[in-house]
Structure 1
Amino acid sequence: MTTLKDQLDNCQYLLARARIAGDDDAVRRFSERRELLVRQLASLRSHLRAV
């Protein structure tokens, strides 16, 4: 199982590749996925600070 950070790193890599390739559809999908992962990571971190 991969961590949220690993998933985010992978998504960043794939997003960069999609941008280089000029694949607008993939850029949109990976940008949306990245946004979701960032929100999840921020939520987890704020939850851990509260504990």
Structure 2
Amino acid sequence: MILLTLLLPVGMMAFLFAADALEDLFFPRPAAPDEDAPASDSAGSPHPDGAV
């Protein structure tokens, strides 16, 4: 019974780790926009930081 009590958190963590991995596999996070490319709406803006 003590062994079961000690292994329960390990099993729960393994389940959560696997669920998180499967979630990332089935529902990938959107890619981050490229920071080097200028924003499309700031091309004609006179401000140095783009459209404000």
* TM-score scaled by length of structure 1: 0.49
Larger Rg: 2
Normalized per residue, which structure has more helix?
1
Which of 1 and 2 has higher RCO (CA within 8 Å, sep 6+)? 1
* TM-score scaled by length of structure 2: 0.48
